[in-house]
């Protein structure tokens, strides 16, 4: 019998590096504790049920994927019996890590029954997230597992930045939603059609990430003015990459202009683009 279990994980947001991280660029991701997902499991002698019921098919599909993978390695698996309850304040398709949070929570739940060691959490959760995006960089998984600001690179993995003091960021819902997989597909088409411009855009996003890391570190160490300038520069440069990819609709551009008119030092979309939330930086 699977034991009783409960966990809470936060959402995430990205300062710079989206899309380009899949092609070797470094990205900066941070947890967003104001958005959370809660998972609890209560065992019983009945077949697994999921609350809310609208999540049952998704959880069943993910569990079957785990069964299939373990079968390939000839590893046994016992099916959970009882009730799995999910509740989340992380909006879906908003660039705040809803799918990654679910995958991390499920990994923690399955860890004891399936003997998943803590050092294997990242890869296990990333394989689950592949089911959502087709190919996950693992950045969202990493920042949610670390639960602190990180830099992330496909080759080097995640590196906690040790940032404890952040400037004032606010988050603004554009009201638009776009599936991450659709945005990824759009950027990949862009790469095929305009390879040289795609390379320049990746270089610009890498530069934005470098500015962002230096800015966060300077702000954390007390050099607020220089830190804010660097972070604002990073956000503007990263936002231009989204414009180049065609992932900033007119409605989002209007909201961005409104925030700048109110005095925001920097504004950028977070996540895959095309919808979701804008992040604004303030003095």
pLDDT tens digit sequence for 111-150: 999 999 999 999 999 999 887 766 778 999 999 999 999 9
Supply 159's token pair: 């590196």
Mean pLDDT to the nearest integer, 77-94:
93
The pLDDT value given to residue 98: 93
pTM above 0.95, yes or no: no
Q: What is the DSSP string of 13-81?
A: EEEE-TTGGGGT--EEEEEEEEEEEEEEEEEEEEE-EEESGGGHHHHHHHHHHHHHHHHHTT---PPPE
pLDDT in tens, 267-281: 999 999 999 999 999
pLDDT in tens, 7-28: 999 999 999 999 999 999 999 9
Lowest model confidence (mean pLDDT) among 13-22, 69-78, 98-107, 249-258 = 69-78
Burial 98-121 (b: 16+ CB within 10 A, else e): bbbbbbbbbbbbbbebbebeeeeb
The pLDDT value given to residue 148: 96
Q: What are phi and psi of 222, to 5 degrees?
A: 105, -5
The pLDDT value given to residue 137: 86
Q: Is the pLDDT assigned to residue 100 strictly greater than 80?
A: yes
CA separation, residue 63 to residues 30, 41, 56, 134, 203 (Å): 28, 14, 10, 17, 39
With beta carbons less than 8 A apart as the criterion, state whether 272 and 97 touch.
no
Mean pLDDT to the nearest integer, 179-201:
95
Q: Is the pLDDT assigned to residue 244 strictly greater than 80?
A: yes
As a whole number of Å, the CA-based R_g of the chain is: 20
Q: What is the DSSP string of 150-174?
A: EEEETTTEEEE-------EEEEEE-
CA separation, residue 71 to residues 68, 109, 180 (Å): 5, 19, 29
The pLDDT value given to residue 134: 66
* DSSP β-ladder status, 157-160 and 150-153: antiparallel
Q: Is the pLDDT assigned to residue 61 strictly greater than 90?
A: no
The pLDDT value given to residue 78: 85
Q: Which domains does the chain possess?
A: 5-160 (3.30.230.10), 168-282 (3.30.70.890)
How far is residue 102's CA from residue 98's CA, in Å, rounded to a whole number?
A: 6
How far is residue 12's CA from residue 96's CA, in Å, rounded to a whole number?
A: 5
The pLDDT value given to residue 79: 87
- Mean pLDDT over all residues of the chain? 94
Cis peptide before 52 (omega within 30 of 0): yes
Q: Which H/E stretch holds residue 219?
A: helix 195-220
* 3 state SS of 236: helix
pLDDT in tens, 206-218: 999 999 999 999 9
């Amino acid at each position: 019998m699977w034991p009783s279990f409960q966990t809470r994980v936060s959402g995430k947001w990205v300062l710079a590096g989206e899309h380009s991280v899949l092609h070797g660029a470094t990205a900066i991701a941070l947890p967003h504790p104001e958005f959370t997902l809660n998972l609890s499991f209560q065992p019983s002698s009945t077949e697994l049920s999921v609350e809310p019921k609208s999540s049952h098919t998704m959880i069943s599909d993910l569990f079957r994927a785990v069964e299939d993978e373990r079968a390939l390695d000839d590893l046994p698996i016992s099916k959970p019996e009882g009730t799995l309850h999910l509740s989340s304040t992380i909006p879906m398709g908003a660039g705040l890590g809803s799918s990654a949070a679910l995958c991390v929570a499920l990994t923690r739940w399955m860890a004891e029954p399936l003997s998943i060691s803590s050092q294997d959490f990242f890869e296990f959760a990333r394989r689950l997230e592949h089911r959502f995006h087709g190919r996950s960089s693992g950045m969202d998984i990493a920042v949610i597992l670390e639960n602190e600001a990180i830099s992330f690179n496909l080759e080097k993995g995640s590196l906690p930045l040790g940032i404890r003091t952040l400037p004032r960021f606010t988050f603004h819902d554009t009201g638009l939603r776009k599936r991450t997989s659709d945005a990824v597909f759009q950027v990949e088409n862009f790469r095929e059609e305009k390879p040289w411009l795609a390379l320049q855009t990746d270089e610009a996003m890498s530069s934005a990430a470098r500015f962002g890391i230096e800015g966060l570190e300077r702000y954390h160490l007390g050099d607020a003015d220089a830190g804010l300038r660097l972070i604002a520069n990073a956000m503007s440069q990263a936002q231009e990459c989204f414009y180049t990819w065609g992932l900033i609709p007119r409605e989002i551009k209007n909201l961005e202009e409104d925030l700048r008119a109110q005095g925001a030092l920097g504004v950028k979309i977070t996540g895959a683009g095309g919808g979701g939330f804008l992040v604004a930086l303030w003095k």
